[in-house]
A and B are shown apart, each in its own frame.
Chain A
Amino acid sequence: AQTVTQSQPEMSVQEAETVTLSCTYDTSENNYYLFWYKQPPSRQMILVIRQEAYKQQNATENRFSVNFQKAAKSFSLKISDSQLGDTAMYFCAFIHLGAGNNRKLIWGLGTSLAVNP
């Protein structure tokens, strides 16, 4: 079975500090994508960052970066210089690129992040 585990239901961080959200996943596939999505209270699911499993280099997007450990099946998200607008639910997800046509996202339960002033 393919699963995604986010072990931190809630986290908080002070504005301008750094926070790391953890994610582990389980799959027998070798070819897949990993994602972090953000869902603010407004509910729109927004892509934060994406990592292709075949790439060894960790993805970065401005203040957001990941620590991708393929052997450990770990995909943590680091948010640097946290801003109030980062307050949201963060979901870790993956798609496996198997030979079939299914491209569904497999999701974790999410981590609720609060950035405090």
Chain B
Amino acid sequence: GAGVSQSPRYKVAKRGQDVALRCDPISGHVSLFWYQQALGQGPEFLTYFQNEAQLDKSGLPSDRFFAERPEGSVSTLKIQRTQQEDSAVYLCASSYLTSLNRQGRTDTQYFGPGTRLTVL
């Protein structure tokens, strides 16, 4: 089936503008993750959804960052009043994972192609 898709692939914003980044997870995947990857760095966790519930948002760097997944499928990461330090690639990942502490193949996260955000 189709993989994780993200849109737009590239976004240029002027400082102070609001942006919205979209993620379509793999159909049937329960969990959805957002990561931020600065240039030359590894990804850093932002937030995690299980279905429509946002279970962890500890990685969001400020209150300008907001994520939602209202119907438990598509997710949107919104950044308000963008700053230059927000420039990064934003990666979305999904997994077929439940809240149970279970072992098995379901803990693999599959990634989308990312959205490269450049704030001028």
Q: Is the CB of B56 within 8 A of A104?
A: yes
Count how many chain B residues have C-beta atoms less than 8 Å from C-beta atoms of the other chain. 30
Stretch from A13-21, A40-48, A67-75, A78-86 contacting the other chain: A40-48
The answer on a CB contact under 8 Å between A103 and B91 is no
Determine if B56 and A44 form an interchain contact, defined as CB atoms under 8 angstroms apart. no
In the complex, what residues of B have CB within 8 A of residue A45's CB? 43, 91, 93, 111, 114
Measured CA separation A45–B89 after assembly (Å): 12
Chain A residues with Cβ under 8 A from B41's Cβ? 109-110
Residue of B nearest to A106 (CB): B45
Q: Which of A33, A43, A50, A93 contacts B114 (CB 8 A)?
A: A43
A104 partner residues in chain B, CB cutoff 8 A: 33, 45, 48, 56, 59
Contact size range, A: 20 to 34
Smallest Cβ-Cβ distance to A35: which chain B residue = B108
A44 (CB) vs chain B CBs: closest residue: B113
B residues touching A (Cβ–Cβ < 8 Å)? Answer: 31, 33, 35, 41-45, 48, 50, 55-56, 59, 89, 91, 93, 95, 97, 99, 101, 103, 107-114, 116
The interface of chain A, by Cβ under 8 A from chain B, is 4, 31, 33, 35, 37, 42-47, 50, 52, 54, 91, 93, 95, 97-99, 101-110
Identify 25 residue pairs between A and B in the complex whose beta-carbon atoms are under 8 Å apart, listed by A's number: A31-B103, A42-B113, A43-B116, A44-B112, A45-B111, A47-B108, A47-B110, A52-B103, A54-B103, A93-B42, A97-B101, A97-B103, A101-B99, A102-B48, A103-B31, A103-B33, A103-B48, A103-B95, A103-B97, A104-B45, A105-B43, A105-B45, A106-B45, A107-B43, A110-B41
